[in-house]
Amino acid sequence: MIKVAIVEDNPSLRNSLINLFDKTEGIKCVAALDNLMNVVSDIGHALPDIVLMDIGLPHISGIEGVRTLKTNFPKIQIMMFTVFDDEERIFDAIKTGASGYLLKKTPPEEIVQAIQDLYYGGAPMTPSIARKVIQSFQSESPDPTDAFRLTVRENEILYSLVDGLSYKKIAEKYCISISTIRTHICNIYSKLHVHSKTAAVAKILGRSTSSNTAGQP
């Protein structure tokens, strides 16, 4: 059973998400909040596996909420669920600790699939969001992964993680075993000096952003 908490201030949307998860086999909504004022105690009581988090919340933003949750509950996975698709918020969310990023126009069945993918090791994103993240790697600046001496295969796997693929789907894509994927992931973590896929992506994005702004007034 995948336990999900929802943080969404729109009551209609919040109730729709509750109904969606509660009628889906294998998923249960264990908390539904309209703000982050008591998020540590609320999430500490519910102990979800995944938090579906809006960004434009009253009082405390979803970005700050990600930071707070990852500090207090590092094992909980966070999926952003928002109308915002600008690069600043996308990168801030990922660098702060979010493992997925969906737009609110995402169809219900795809929301369910994204929750399942995140639970089983993926990093799901709405396709238009994933494209923006990928494009940050493909800018005119030198590839930020070059500085970390990643191999071609390690780069491919890192890009696949950004694109929201699970270990199983990456293994199928490149016709290699999941154990081989895990070995490559360990090598990537070692070279980037991180301990999670979210931190790996955040480190690359942070370096890419720095490269793109270098020399600007």
pTM (two decimals): 0.67
pLDDT of residue 217: 36
pLDDT for 80 equals 94
Range of the domain at 43: 2-126
**pLDDT one-digit tens code per residue, 178-215:** 889 888 888 888 888 877 776 777 676 655 444 443 43
CATH of the domain at 39: 3.40.50.2300
Residue 88 and residue 11 share a domain: yes
Residue 62 and residue 145 in one domain: no
Q: Does residue 216 surpass a pLDDT of 80?
A: no
Q: What is the CATH number of the domain that holds 179?
A: 1.10.10.10
Domain co-membership, 37 together with 99:
yes
- Residue 159's contacts (CB-CB under 8 Å, 6 or more residues apart) are 134, 137
| Confidence band for 69, pLDDT divided at 50, 70 and 90 | very high
What are 84's two structure tokens?
Answer: 């915002």
Tell me, yes or no, whether 16 and 122 share the same domain: yes
Q: For 108-166, what is each residue's pLDDT tens digit?
A: 999 999 999 899 888 888 877 877 776 665 554 445 555 578 888 888 888 787 766 77
Q: State the chain's mean pLDDT as an integer.
A: 84
